[in-house]
Structure 1
């Protein structure tokens, strides 16, 4: 979870071999006993289901409530960070709405309160907390309900529905009508599933409390409720599919009710897993199932039935590489997409790379397939494919300008190519030159600029650019890569690059180049910046920016400039704080001289600066002694700093520290009394 992190592994597995989880959707193979992260991120994904094309969807709490889940994706988080710092962005919700109005806190149960449901939030859908998920694929409800997703709204005492509408490589979730509204405020729906008769069973934990209650005794564990939601009359009969023969289970892959389809598939998988390869029952089972399933997969006129046959063969371990290669020629985009995913899993199960035919077809499809769905499956597969085989597939995916604004594709491609950038930066930058998806060009440059070993290649490529637009793009991403970093070594190519950029006719290019120069410690820029800070004719914003650049660049000659602008109201706060980094004898006098004109927050900054160095602290104590600075302005953390200075052997007199400490004690005894 977001706040409850895990290290997953079998008992006895060393920590370094476990899988770290800090919010994810995972899967577990029932016979290979393999744990696998399917996608990362989200918040309380308490519901998951699949549509008729095998697309997964989860419902969530606190953050927006609906996500289309793609293998290898990173999704919006409630809190914390993704493990990989180079993700840069994650995929957001597909919902075009929320189920509340205003702030979540208006209806949430946080902080021990039991809020009343605002009418506006009730009308919008009942609140932010969702639980369970069901895409109806059975045969009792009317057709108009099929393929819609239904989920419980914990605070709203109801079942919401969203309409899943295809767009680009994925979906958008439209606001559907609520399926039902309970007449009891204790209704807490948890999950809902359709059964063999097509009706839906809904479980309700039924409690006065909804969430965020840590007192165990207040929860009512004595009851719960199960509801059956049906359309018209249904005849209940006992169903035990385990008694059916293998051919009968195969025929159920054509059933209108997905309960039969999924249960039959599971039973076939379990039967196959229980048999040894050389047993005669194995040969019999293969003879009874493989031929009929391949017939459905290859010749049925409904692609959803073709998919069911593919999934069943795959679950039984009987889907071949040849089957998948054939399905890559299907006219149906989801069939081609699933062939990519299943082929990738099959190839990498038996080896460490794609087979030659699979690799060649993936490369062709990346460039030529007209479907964004197929390209999404290829992008997802990149993370599974060995890095050396990703380049040509990724290069083809980057050529599709029509995918630039797709909800999923730019980021999914990025998650797959990110590790490639620093492994071969020249090839990565060459790929970015041909990219038709602007975000990926930016991210490649940024990632290359984050590594000191590859920064030189980025600067060299920037130096060859003749377009102001491209120069600005490079500079923006270099600065983004420099955020939070210090002591970045100056690449040899920077000197020539800066000389060119500083002569640009575009002011924005020159300004951005100056900022890069400061971050690299290029002192050639400092005189110009000092002059700009001191020029009263310049806009305050430009002076502030120049001062911040001097500070970030740790210009050793900046102290007199900072001291001068202490008298400029719009600049003084930053200047006062920055002076703590410079050991200049004039600083205490400058700050103390202006002290009477400073605001409360500025005085606090001035005190913090004056206690930062022994010489400054002595001047401060003299000012306190001479009543130039009120003793009440010296706070406990300032005293702590003075004591540290005293005991670090800097010669700060103990009497001076006591002089500052004594009134604090008096203040705590008599709040509001003027110290004496």
Structure 2
């Protein structure tokens, strides 16, 4: 009997020993004899059993003065992937039991509406809005329905009878890939221009046909106009991006895995790829960081701007770190037309290897909300090797609160008048500002166009003025006379957005074109950047000489020459090349480093 017990013990320990030995020899993870992952990738030991929500909460560490509260957990919340708040303060969450399934088609996944009806800070109402989905990897609420990334489709779901259940479905676009279910279309986020933005990963090829165009891409940021359904690529590159944040100036930042973690993305830019070929003649751009946080697996990002936290914690980018089981923090500083990112101390440490912060959002109360997938496996390698080992019984939602402010009351804008929404554009809570802006756009700014124009051209703080501009832009209410005044504004952010609007909504207006061309000489980097992009959209004019002038004016800016080139080189045929050389002959290259860089690319393409 003693021998049999010892033998049984050895048999039970042998797979663990083999896995540990495999981790030493082969890179950090091993398999049992039947393919079970014992030591997941980027972990040093078996993860152990899951903790209860209260146990996990007790292990979390946040800065002094903060504490973490549990908002929802299993069984009300299971395998959460993405989340969004609506104007009532309700939380919409996608759940996936199908992950890591590659095959398209109906599945078991669903969308839930979570609501705190008593005001005690805890979810007490859970409704299933839609089911039959298959890894719904992104969600946004607005324009009369719910937008869901459910590869290969981007869906628009509506509740037409008010029972909080979807009864109408539209496939807005289709053609997203499912080759890598960690790189599906994700992070659906409303942009300042009123478009819905999303991301896709490098090993997930897509072919989207929309509006008479075919878009073939892998790693990219895409966008859709909710009013026209127009689909376009905003920019391309990076790796497995997951998380979009817009700052108060309307600049786009994303987090990404494997390679550098933080990127400032600009329209028409092409950024460094984790892998795969670049299109011919690409002049790639890089990330905005030179530092690293813990192991490179990031998921989600938010720009925190709310009075619910002390000033030193505002205006920072917070990112979920899956392998690090924590929230990392970066601050950004402007560098010409782009930014540089600098790491700061972690904001939250989970101290639990199951903790997987997949989304972070500023809520209607101004606090930080953190969605936790909660699983032993963080990487697709582990999930693919052991799909049955993927946990499907847990999920948590947390709220981080500062003691000095407590948990402010949730503000609902569902019944707000347009005048109230205009006032909310000055709210210090970024969520309320952005939601007010979206609601005004949905109403086409009816009855408040004059008021919004007055704010945009007034003396208020620039972020409030920009919010008014964006509401008008998203509501398709930009008038040419107003745009002309906007282009004369002293603040570079307002002028640069005026140029961007000119390219987006007045591309064929010769008077608007001339107004923007008048800004070429002596423009700030932000204005120069938008001029470089708008010139590629204008119709009825030859932009070559203007791009040359802009390249000569931009000095050593880190990104403007590349953006000029990405817009210029597709037009660089024989006649355009001759026009370019004529324009260059009149300039002093020794004092124009940006133009000198550009001409190197021209010579390479034309094989001079």
TM-score category, normalised to shorter length: 0.5 to 0.7
CA distance in structure 2 between the partners assigned to 1:68 and 1:422 by the alignment: 31
Q: Work out whether 1:59 is the aligned partner of 2:255.
A: yes
Q: Which has the higher contact order (CA 8 A, sep 6+)?
A: 2
Equivalent position of 2:334 in the other structure: 166
Alignment of 1:441-480 (within 5 A): 441-449=599-607, 478=608
CA contact (8 A) 2:357 2:371 kept: yes
2:501 aligned to 323, 336, 342, which one? Answer: 342
CA distance in structure 2 between the partners assigned to 1:269 and 1:166 by the alignment: 29
CA contact (8 A) 2:456 2:465 kept: yes
CA distance in structure 1 between the partners assigned to 2:520 and 2:546 by the alignment: 6
2:535 aligned to 382, 396, 401, which one? Answer: 382
2:440 aligned to 253, 256, 268, which one? Answer: 268
Shift of 1:271: 2.5
CA distance in structure 2 between the partners assigned to 1:393 and 1:334 by the alignment: 21
Alignment of 1:11-410 (within 5 A): 17-82=213-278, 84-87=279-282, 89-99=283-293, 126-211=294-379, 212-213=381-382, 214=384, 215-232=386-403, 233-235=405-407, 237-272=409-444, 286=446, 288-348=447-507, 353=508, 355-369=509-523, 371-386=524-539, 388-400=541-553, 403-410=554-561
Shift of 1:94: 0.5
Q: CA deviation digits over 1:236-280, x for unaligned, max 9?
A: 5453312111111111111111111111122222223xxxxxxxx
Q: CA deviation digits over 1:282-337, x for unaligned, max 9?
A: xxx63x31121111101133111110000001111111122122111111111100
CA contact (8 A) 2:472 2:478 kept: yes
For residue 128 of structure 1, give the secondary structure of its aligned residue in structure 2. Answer: coil
- Change over 3 Å in CA distance of 1:389–1:320 after alignment to 2: farther
Shift of 1:398: 2.1
Gaps (5+ residues) in structure 2? 1-200
Gaps (5+ residues) in structure 1? 100-125, 273-284, 450-477, 479-676
Structure (1 or 2) with the greater helix fraction: 1
For residue 398 of structure 1, give the secondary structure of its aligned residue in structure 2. Answer: helix
CA contact (8 A) 1:382 1:417 kept: no
CA distance in structure 1 between the partners assigned to 2:463 and 2:267 by the alignment: 20
Q: CA deviation digits over 1:74-123, x for unaligned, max 9?
A: 111011123x3011x20001012122xxxxxxxxxxxxxxxxxxxxxxxx
For residue 265 of structure 1, give the secondary structure of its aligned residue in structure 2. Answer: helix
CA contact (8 A) 2:364 2:412 kept: no
CA distance in structure 2 between the partners assigned to 1:225 and 1:251 by the alignment: 34
Equivalent position of 1:427 in the other structure: 579
Q: CA deviation digits over 1:438-459, x for unaligned, max 9?
A: 111111122222xxxxxxxxxx
CA distance in structure 2 between the partners assigned to 1:236 and 1:224 by the alignment: 25
CA contact (8 A) 1:73 1:380 kept: no
Shift of 1:54: 0.5
Shift of 1:404: 4.1
Structure (1 or 2) with the greater strand fraction: 2
Equivalent position of 2:203 in the other structure: 3
CA distance in structure 2 between the partners assigned to 1:205 and 1:429 by the alignment: 56
CA distance in structure 2 between the partners assigned to 1:427 and 1:293 by the alignment: 42
CA contact (8 A) 1:422 1:447 kept: no
TM-score of the two chains, using structure 2 as the length reference: 0.63
Superposed CA RMSD in Å reads 1.8
Equivalent position of 1:414 in the other structure: 565
Larger-Rg structure: 1
Shift of 1:361: 2.3
Shift of 1:423: 4.1
